[in-house]
Chain A
Amino acid sequence: MTTAIPVEESLPTELEGAPTSEGAGDVRKGGWTPRIVITIVAAIWMVPTVGVLITSFRPEDLVETTGWWTVFGHLFDTSQWTLENYRSALDTGGFENAFLNSLAVTVPSTVIPITIAAFAAYAFSWMEFRGRHVMFAAVVGLLVVPLQMALIPILRLYTSGAEVAGLRIFPDLDLNGTFLGIWLAHTAFGLPLAVYLLRNYIGSLPSSIIESAKIDGADHFTIFWRLVVPLSVPALAAFAIFQFLWVWNDLLVARIFLGGTSDVQVLTIALSNLVGSRGESWHLLTAAAFISMVLPLIVFFTLQRYFVRGLTAGAVKG
């Protein structure tokens, strides 16, 4: 930042092109500095990704003996490109299975917290009941409970239930290693952020809409489902992106609640097992890393236009 600005001032176009003479929309536009700085930063940011992308298409012996940047020397030499890494990464390590498992973990782990949080956020914003403010403050407070702290007690609940002074207060459900177990865990870890974001958004909807629906005889459930949910799509999508990326890429929670056994292992675990068992087999890892990125990227680019609107509705005071 500090390096960018002085250059800015020396640019004649910026100083002379008195911003007032231009349209209001142009007030902040133009100049070479932004273009140059943005290009440089974006290029730096791309380096690691480009490295993996290139490596994933190179044959094993070349990956091990030459740097990935050397391909630029002879870009059109076809003997240095191969699809073999993708083929063998998909064949070994139960990747197909892991992909399905990741899907089975991630989709419900995204939808469940959104639903639960949306109902709660609606209640916190548009229903009157005792303890409303205290409960909301408590939920926001839980935003900062470190996930790691919760893992072990939950694991113990899953495997043996809980007793207080000989009285069983939580049954032994044997949830460890099940999808339901990991959904509930991810739901709980995502809930505070979800309630916080959705409360910001749903609370900022115009009260006139809700009041008029009430006058027309709609009950809370109908108002919520027919009116508030469709209006809150940006916030729901924003949280969906967050939660999807987080659950899809999570290693820790999956490792503890699902474990590394091959029939329930998720993609991240399959990936890290590849690191473990194959040591330096980068050619496979790079392909695997890209395979695991495909779905999150699709989700992000489909939902991204909602992302910004949804996240900032309550956070920014315009």
Chain B
Amino acid sequence: MTTALETEPEAPEPVPDEDEPAPRAVRAVALAVLRLLGALVVPIAAFFGLWLTFDWMRDADVNRFVLVAVAIAVGVGGVFLLYWAMNRTVDHLPERFREGVRPYVFVGPALVILGVFLVYPVINTIVVSFGDSQGEGFVGLENYEFVFTDESMLRAIRNTFGWVVVVPAVATSIGLAFATLADRLRRGEAVAKSLIFLPMAISFVGAAVTWRLIYSFRPEGFGTNIGLLNGIKMGLGMTPTPWLQERPWNNLLLMVIMIWMQTGFAMVVLSAAIKSIPDEIIEAARIDGASEMQVFWRITVPSIAPTIAVVVTYMVINAMKVFDIVFVIGSPETNQTEVIAERMIYWFIRNHDGRSGAIAVILFVLVIPIMIWNIRRFREQEATR
């Protein structure tokens, strides 16, 4: 596929201009300047235009409905106008520059936004993590020392490790098993899959509420237990358990919530991959006497391995960043369910930028192996394509 692209000739139009004795260096410099203009100045100008609209909106005292409608129209229409305007600008350039500049107009905005919102913060956080609580004075490795000595922080690292191992493993396994089995239903596959996917539409906050109806606990003598688990226990004549305070198992119970929410994603994606395996391959294996188990492990799993990798990566990164569930269910410290991202917000709220930054850097460092693994995987894919 990439090879097909490669053959696309680079700006073939200006053939008549070619023998013009314009100095090459001048041309190169002009092209570079124009590229820079295309990629930087136009989006920034458009951005300021949008921002002025907003400055007006912020102060305007109009009906909320109108405001929201205008916001949506400006947000949606503005971005398209931006590209249209940039493209028209490029059309007015001298012909020989045109096709050299145009690609940068197409990718420019993406690169500018990523640069400002992701690359800059990474660099900035690294700098701040060596500073004091206000992110000003230099304190060397003090914040990192804190990160690796604070009891709560160490627990957070340990707990996050648990999340990263348990959630992707369980959610992907259930998703894969469900997708494999649902593929063999004669009827009702779509309904079954929708039911599993449903929790994806619930916010973490909503999920926290939902699961309190399962985990809720009231000690004996303080009213009926309205959580399902304790309801069952009482029904069996046992005493209720304060599930969310049972260390360290409460961590596992919180992970169950995320598994519940994310299995649907794994299932939908893996199901599509399973369906793309040609019937003939499975048929041939059956003729050769392969059992269901063998077909699954020797054919299904290897065929969809790239998809499994994508799903696992996505989930590992999500588990690493988990914050909402732990935060909303409450009292991470007393229940010892701290996770890294939650600690980061904790120190941020308490105005200690240095510590917050150092914790963020830890998170980023932990993600690097996954990044390397993925880039290597892409390379292999490109090579075999």
Interface residues of A (CB under 8 A from B): 1, 4-5, 8-9, 14, 19-20, 24-25, 27-31, 33-35, 37-38, 41-42, 45-49, 51-52, 55, 63-69, 97, 100-101, 103-104, 107-109, 111-112, 115-117, 119-120, 122-129, 132, 135, 137, 139-154, 156-157, 162, 170, 173, 175, 178-180, 183-185, 187-189, 191-192, 195, 203-204, 207, 220-221, 224, 245, 248-252, 267-268, 271-272, 275, 282, 285-286, 289, 292-293, 296-297, 300-301, 304, 307-309, 311-312, 315-318
Q: Does A38 contact B181, Cβ atoms closer than 8 Å?
A: yes
- In the complex, which of the residues B75, B211, B231 has the most CB atoms of chain A within 10 Å of its own CB atom? B75
Instruction: Give bound CA distance, A64 to B198, whole Å.
Output: 27
Contact residues in B for A184 (Cβ distance below 8 Å): 113, 117
Instruction: Give bound CA distance, A30 to B349, whole Å.
Output: 56
5 contacts between A and B (CB under 8 A): A41-B196, A49-B198, A120-B107, A146-B363, A315-B306
Q: Does A104 contact B205, Cβ atoms closer than 8 Å?
A: no
CB of B243 within 8 A of chain A? no
CB of B321 within 8 A of chain A? yes
Contact of A317 among B209, B228, B306 (CB under 8 A): B306
Nearest CB of chain A from residue B27's CB, rounded to whole Å: 15
Map CB proximity to A onto B187-208 as digits: 1 under 8 Å, 0 otherwise.
0000010111111111111111
| A267 to chain B: closest residue by CB | B203
Q: Does A311 contact B269, Cβ atoms closer than 8 Å?
A: yes
Told that A66-B224, A146-B363, A203-B1 touch, could you supply 11 new A-B pairs with CB distance under 8 A?
A: A24-B283, A30-B184, A38-B182, A47-B214, A49-B198, A128-B103, A143-B374, A145-B367, A148-B345, A152-B121, A318-B278
Q: Does A51 contact B103, Cβ atoms closer than 8 Å?
A: no
CB of B161 within 8 A of chain A? no
Number of CB contacts from chain A to chain B under 8 A: 381
Contact residues in A for B65 (Cβ distance below 8 Å): 100
Contact residues in A for B334 (Cβ distance below 8 Å): none
Instruction: Give bound CA distance, A17 to B197, whole Å.
Output: 33
Q: Does A148 contact B363, Cβ atoms closer than 8 Å?
A: yes
Q: Does A119 contact B109, Cβ atoms closer than 8 Å?
A: yes
Contact residues in B for A48 (Cβ distance below 8 Å): 199, 207, 210-211, 213-214, 260
Q: Does A129 contact B8, Cβ atoms closer than 8 Å?
A: no
Contact residues in A for B142 (Cβ distance below 8 Å): none
Instruction: Give bound CA distance, A46 to B197, whole Å.
Output: 10
CB of B41 within 8 A of chain A? no
Nearest CB of chain B from residue A310's CB, rounded to whole Å: 10
Q: Does A63 contact B226, Cβ atoms closer than 8 Å?
A: yes
Contact of A67 among B195, B225, B296 (CB under 8 A): B225
Contact of B71 among A28, A108, A251 (CB under 8 A): A108
Contact A67 to B269, CB < 8 A, known contacts A48-B214, A180-B50? no
CB of B370 within 8 A of chain A? yes
| B135 to chain A: closest residue by CB | A156
Contact of A289 among B58, B210, B345 (CB under 8 A): B210
Which 10 A-B pairs have CB atoms at the shortest separation, nearest pair first? A108-B75, A188-B117, A249-B203, A123-B106, A153-B121, A289-B206, A129-B103, A150-B121, A120-B110, A153-B124
Residues of B71-116 at the interface with A, using a CB-CB cut-off of 8 Å, are 71-72, 74-76, 79-80, 83-84, 87, 100, 102-104, 106-107, 109-111, 113-114, 116
Instruction: Give bound CA distance, A63 to B209, whole Å.
Output: 13
Contact residues in B for A149 (Cβ distance below 8 Å): 121-122, 125, 360-361, 363-364
Contact residues in B for A249 (Cβ distance below 8 Å): 201-206
Contact A125 to B121, CB < 8 A, known contacts A1-B173, A38-B185, A68-B213? no
Contact of A27 among B50, B83, B286, B357 (CB under 8 A): B286
Contact residues in A for B224 (Cβ distance below 8 Å): 65-67
Q: Does A318 contact B50, Cβ atoms closer than 8 Å?
A: no
Contact residues in B for A68 (Cβ distance below 8 Å): 213, 226, 228
Contact A271 to B68, CB < 8 A, known contacts A67-B226, A149-B122, A285-B209? no
Contact of A146 among B84, B196, B320, B348 (CB under 8 A): B320
Contact A152 to B360, CB < 8 A, known contacts A19-B283, A67-B228? yes
Instruction: Give bound CA distance, A203 to B385, whole Å.
Output: 12
CB of B153 within 8 A of chain A? no
Q: Does A35 contact B213, Cβ atoms closer than 8 Å?
A: no
Q: Does A41 contact B4, Cβ atoms closer than 8 Å?
A: no
Contact residues in A for B344 (Cβ distance below 8 Å): 148
Q: Does B184 contact A31, Cβ atoms closer than 8 Å?
A: yes
Q: Does B360 contact A28, Cβ atoms closer than 8 Å?
A: no
Residues of B210-247 at the interface with A, using a CB-CB cut-off of 8 Å, are 210-214, 223-228, 231
Q: Does A20 contact B75, Cβ atoms closer than 8 Å?
A: no
Contact residues in A for B371 (Cβ distance below 8 Å): 141, 143-144
Contact A179 to B260, CB < 8 A, known contacts A140-B378, A188-B118, A312-B272? no
Contact of A152 among B125, B206, B212, B375 (CB under 8 A): B125
Q: Does B375 contact A188, Cβ atoms closer than 8 Å?
A: no
Instruction: Give bound CA distance, A16 to B368, whole Å.
Output: 51
Q: Does A293 contact B206, Cβ atoms closer than 8 Å?
A: yes
Contact residues in A for B271 (Cβ distance below 8 Å): 308
Q: Does A115 contact B83, Cβ atoms closer than 8 Å?
A: yes
Instruction: Give bound CA distance, A20 to B282, whole Å.
Output: 10
Instruction: Give bound CA distance, A153 to B131, whole Å.
Output: 14
Residues of B338-369 at the interface with A, using a CB-CB cut-off of 8 Å, are 341, 344-345, 348, 353, 356-357, 360-361, 363-364, 367-368
Contact residues in B for A307 (Cβ distance below 8 Å): 268
Residues of B259-303 at the interface with A, using a CB-CB cut-off of 8 Å, are 260, 263, 268-269, 271-273, 276, 278-280, 282-283, 286-287, 291-293, 296
Instruction: Give bound CA distance, A301 to B348, whole Å.
Output: 38
Q: Does A251 contact B72, Cβ atoms closer than 8 Å?
A: no
Contact residues in B for A148 (Cβ distance below 8 Å): 321, 323, 341, 344-345, 360, 363
Contact residues in A for B374 (Cβ distance below 8 Å): 140, 143-144
Instruction: Give bound CA distance, A301 to B191, whole Å.
Output: 11
Contact residues in B for A112 (Cβ distance below 8 Å): 75-76, 79
Instruction: Give bound CA distance, A30 to B374, whole Å.
Output: 37
| B363 to chain A: closest residue by CB | A146
Contact residues in B for A180 (Cβ distance below 8 Å): 50-51, 54, 75
| A126 to chain B: closest residue by CB | B5
Q: Does A248 contact B203, Cβ atoms closer than 8 Å?
A: yes
CB of B128 within 8 A of chain A? yes
